[in-house]
Amino acid sequence: MWSIGPILASFALLGAQAAPSAGSEHIKLKDGTVVQGRATAYDAQKKVLSFRTADGKDMAYTLDQLDQRSVYHVTASIVPKDNARGQIQLANYARDIGLYAHAARSYQYAEKADPSLKPEIDQERVLGRRLAADYCIQQAQAAFAKNDVKEAERWLSLLVEKLPNEPQAEQAAAVLEQHYMAERNARDDELEREQAELLEKDLKLGKERYDRMIERTKQGLTARSSQSEALWEGAIADGEVVLKEIGKIEKKYADDPRVQEGGARYRQLTIAQMVDAHLHLASRYTVSSSYNKALKHTNAALALDPQNEQARAQRARIEQASSEGIGLNWF
């Protein structure tokens, strides 16, 4: 495990005479206690953080007393973004305690500050990618253990989309291959039974395209990178046909509440699947830093489902990375 000591030792005593107001920050101690207040100084030699609590008490905490996230927070607060060496050490620490997003960002700051360090940074990123891939597998396994297949699928998809060249991505693709269709088929099993007649007659094409949309989305997740995009695009095109077909039968059977209800439920399932495909594409495009394409698919997902949290978060991240001029790669 990498130590944060050398970074902190390289920064002088900070803010010894400060007397800020209390109440807007927090630190967490190793035992889980959260202390509200404001940091007033940091002594790099002694590795002691001075902290004025919200009720006005002046406290001093050694880094050993803080939980790892707070140690990271203190360190990130004193290492300037343009200090390439400091940012590499900070990134390594963040990576080793599982703060992968923070680590990825600090590697980018380091590279920006001193491009000549890129080979060294890339070496550290290799380890970052491996650890992040392991983390995805662990999270998926934990979700499977709780029978939360949807959550497991999300972790495996993330791994396949964001770290497609890691050996664990193949393992993830194999597990997805096994579970994806079963989970999706289960979603419309009941509806299929209820609407058997309609599916046989008026919604035959729609159902065919619906099944193909799911198959193509799955293939996109399990295929190698270059083919995935075309498969997800195809899945979205299938989804559009399904929505049109649903529209047609809703018009034809305008007075039949059972058909109307079935149509609404199929529309919901189709939209959810199309949103998935758009987000897979957006996620993949962020890996290649194709902001415009990523944004286009995130917006398309939001046009279908304006409250989708994942899409809203994705859009915010893309816009931020684009305005900051940094990549969206994990590592």
Partner 1 sequence: MFARTLLPLFAAVALALPIACGSNSSAEDIACTCGTPQADLEGCAHSLCLAGKTNPDNPDCVCGSLSIPR
Contact residues toward partner 1 (CB under 8 A) are: 14-15, 18, 20, 24-28, 34, 38-42, 49, 69-70, 72-74, 76-78, 98-102, 105, 132, 135-136, 139, 158, 309, 312-314, 316-317, 320, 330
What the block records as the tokens of 290 is 């194709």
List Cβ neighbours of 288 (8 Å cut-off, separation of 6 or more).
Answer: none
* Element of type H or E holding 116: none
Could you tell me if 66 and 75 are in contact, meaning their C-beta atoms sit under 8 angstroms apart? no
Task: Tell me how far, at minimum, the Cβ of 168 lies from partner 1, in Å.
Answer: 13
* 215: amino acid identity, one letter: E
Could you tell me if 40 and 21 are in contact, meaning their C-beta atoms sit under 8 angstroms apart? no
User: Which residues sit opposite 42 in a β-bridge?
Assistant: 14, 49
Q: Which residue has the tokens 């550290």?
A: 124
Task: Tell me how far, at minimum, the Cβ of 18 lies from partner 1, in Å.
Answer: 4
Q: Which of 8, 158, 206, 19 lies closest to 89, judged by CA?
A: 8
Task: Tell me how far, at minimum, the Cβ of 43 lies from partner 1, in Å.
Answer: 10
Residue 81 vs 293, nearer CB to partner 1: 81
Residue 216 vs 284, nearer CB to partner 1: 284
Residue 293 vs 312, nearer CB to partner 1: 312
Task: Tell me how far, at minimum, the Cβ of 118 lies from partner 1, in Å.
Answer: 22
Supply the DSSP string of 182-199, one letter for each residue: HHHHHHTHHHHHHTHHHH
Task: Tell me how far, at minimum, the Cβ of 176 lies from partner 1, in Å.
Answer: 18
Q: Which residue has the tokens 């497991």?
A: 152
Residue 104 vs 214, nearer CB to partner 1: 104
Q: Which of 157, 171, 176 lies closest to 281, judged by CA?
A: 157
Residue 152 vs 246, nearer CB to partner 1: 152
Task: Tell me how far, at minimum, the Cβ of 162 lies from partner 1, in Å.
Answer: 8
Q: Which of 143, 195, 134 lies closest to 330, judged by CA?
A: 134
Residue 219 vs 286, nearer CB to partner 1: 286
